Amino acid sequence: MNLPDGPKTSPRLLNQFETDPLAFMDTMGDRYGDIFTIMADSIPLVIISNPEGMKQIFTNAKEITASGKLNQGGESVVGKYGLLALDGLRHRNRRKLLMSPMRETQTQEYGRHICRVTEKVMNQLTIGKSFLAYPTMQKITLEVVLPSLFGLHQGERYEQFRQLFSNLISYARSRWLDISLSYPFLKKDLGRWSPWGYWLHLQRQFDSLLHIEIEERHQQVNPLRSDVLSELVLACDEMGQPMTYEYIRDLFPSLLFGGQDASATAISWSLYWIHSVPGIRDRLLEELDSLGESLEPAKIIALPYLNAVCNESLRIYPTQVVTFPRLVESPIEVMDYKLDPGTVVRGCIYLTHQREDLYPQPKQFRPERFLEKEYSPYEFLPFGGGARRCPGELLALFEMKLVLATILSRYQLALAHKRVEKPKARGVNYPPASGLKMVMLGSR
């Protein structure tokens, strides 16, 4: 094996990786170019930001796998049978089941739901007062994902799921859960007022709501229902057996976390760039106004400048800095380096999107680049690629465009500060560190 060069692992370096991964990646990219190795304990972690290398990671499925073992640390939060913990045939099969209903979300009805939810949440803001954009977008994106996953658009059950998921997601990100996961002696059910006990209490609430939904689908099969849960209830696993309750349940946490957090991160960054770079908002409004009074979802998603703004936001600060890890299973040569089995490989989405040769003046927010040039899936990859390519991509882009179009055409917002926003890790995503303070100036 001849590993690419890389930094000597030191506590300072590891600290920078934890606290400011983008600055860390910039330094590593400048120093070592588009492939380098970080030694994590004794396991080499190879980071790649070269499109050819990226293509190899995503397409050499026999030699480099999307091993579920590498993601098993998060099992307590995202489930033993969640997509991230699976690989091979099982992973492929479950993805197929999820993706067929998720592809069907680009409908007029779903689009209207997204616009309605956006207006509902934005109308709760007080004119003249500041608000944090990121948690506000999280409220919207949580409600947006519910019809796709459970077929719920409104009503009592919708409210129960909404409230429960909001609690689950914020507790999953809290220090309390972190503490009980770090110290095994705290991972005990000491009632709902104890850190681990509260997490189990939320899980039990989820179980009981999910059982009701599943029971209803068993009692009354409705072939017209096209949500993820309805698909799973009728589906078989790879052995031809009906999906067990655990298999079904464990698929939802990663969809919820991905569905809510990544989308809220992407929309918050778009709001930041739209309101901080001169001319972007005006040009977007001109494009939106050209559609007339009725904002039809199908017409909004086809707008070229809006599409370019979304892409440029996802380019400059991708929601995930790196792809999920991949494992070398049999010897393979990647960009002239011979990698041995056991080597872990990650594509660095951020550094690929910062390449001068692909994106001249990469630190500048310039949506026009997406109108002037088409990028390959290995040059522009905000949703990753290969076996773990984001299954929510279509929903996410549909949602991003409709939420932004509704906010821009109905409200006037401004940034509360002129300062430069930095991304900060929150789970696997990188939203604005401050939460992005904005002011609601009024309606438009």
Show binding-site residues for heme.
390
| Residue bearing tokens 């930095």 | 422
Q: Per rule CB under 6 A, is residue 268 in the interface with ligand HEM? A: no
Q: From the annotation, which residues make up the binding site?
A: 390
Q: Per rule CB under 6 A, is residue 383 in the interface with ligand HEM? A: yes
Q: Per rule CB under 6 A, is residue 77 in the interface with ligand HEM? A: no
Report the alpha-carbon distance of residue 129 to residue 329 in Å, rounded.
Answer: 55
Tell me which of 258, 367, 423, 431 binds ligand HEM, using CB under 6 A. Answer: 258
In the bound state with ligand HEM, the residue whose beta carbon lies nearer, of 73 and 191, is 73
CB of 83: closest distance to ligand HEM in angstroms?
A: 4
* Stretch touching ligand HEM by CB under 6 A, among 41-49, 119-127, 253-261, 283-291: 253-261
CB of 193: closest distance to ligand HEM in angstroms?
A: 32
Report the alpha-carbon distance of residue 418 to residue 439 in Å, rounded.
Answer: 12
In the bound state with ligand HEM, the residue whose beta carbon lies nearer, of 180 and 250, is 250
Tell me which of 150, 165, 269, 324 binds ligand HEM, using CB under 6 A. Answer: 324
CB of 94: closest distance to ligand HEM in angstroms?
A: 8
In the bound state with ligand HEM, the residue whose beta carbon lies nearer, of 25 and 395, is 395
Tell me which of 65, 268, 311, 319 binds ligand HEM, using CB under 6 A. Answer: 319
Closest of 257, 383, 324 to residue 66, by C-alpha: 324
Strands (E), 258-305: none
CB of 114: closest distance to ligand HEM in angstroms?
A: 12
DSSP state of 126: P
Report the alpha-carbon distance of residue 248 to residue 228 in Å, rounded.
Answer: 10
SS3 208: helix
AA letter at 234: L
Tell me which of 28, 232, 233, 255 binds ligand HEM, using CB under 6 A. Answer: 255
AA letter at 85: A
Report the alpha-carbon distance of residue 240 to residue 182 in Å, rounded.
Answer: 38
The residue count for binding ligand HEM (CB under 6 A) is 29
**Residues 319 and 390: beta-carbon distance below 8 Å:** no
Cα-trace Rg, the chain: 22
**Torsion angle (degrees, nearest 10) of CA 327, 333, 334, 337:** 110
Q: Per rule CB under 6 A, is residue 431 in the interface with ligand HEM? A: no
What own/partner pairs with CB < 8 Å and gap ≥ 24 does 177-184 have? 177/77, 181/76, 181/77
Q: Per rule CB under 6 A, is residue 113 in the interface with ligand HEM? A: no
In the bound state with ligand HEM, the residue whose beta carbon lies nearer, of 73 and 442, is 73
Q: Per rule CB under 6 A, is residue 396 in the interface with ligand HEM? A: yes
**Residues 281 and 424: beta-carbon distance below 8 Å:** no
Report the alpha-carbon distance of residue 442 to residue 275 in Å, rounded.
Answer: 15
DSSP state of 337: E
CB of 327: closest distance to ligand HEM in angstroms?
A: 12
Q: Per rule CB under 6 A, is residue 403 in the interface with ligand HEM? A: no
Encoded tokens for 24: 């860390």
Q: Which residues 125-164 are close enough to bind ligand HEM by CB under 6 A?
A: 145
CB of 218: closest distance to ligand HEM in angstroms?
A: 24
Closest of 372, 288, 118, 432 to residue 280, by C-alpha: 288
Q: Per rule CB under 6 A, is residue 297 in the interface with ligand HEM? A: no
Burial class (CB in 10 A: 0-12, 13-18, 19+), 116: middle
Tell me which of 81, 95, 288, 317 binds ligand HEM, using CB under 6 A. Answer: 95
In the bound state with ligand HEM, the residue whose beta carbon lies nearer, of 180 and 260, is 260
First to last CA, the chain: 62
CB of 320: closest distance to ligand HEM in angstroms?
A: 4
Tell me which of 348, 388, 401, 406 binds ligand HEM, using CB under 6 A. Answer: 388
- Kindly list the residues in this chain that would bind ligand HEM in the complex (CB under 6 A): 83-84, 95, 145, 254-255, 258-259, 262-263, 266, 314, 319-320, 323-324, 382-386, 388-392, 395-396, 400
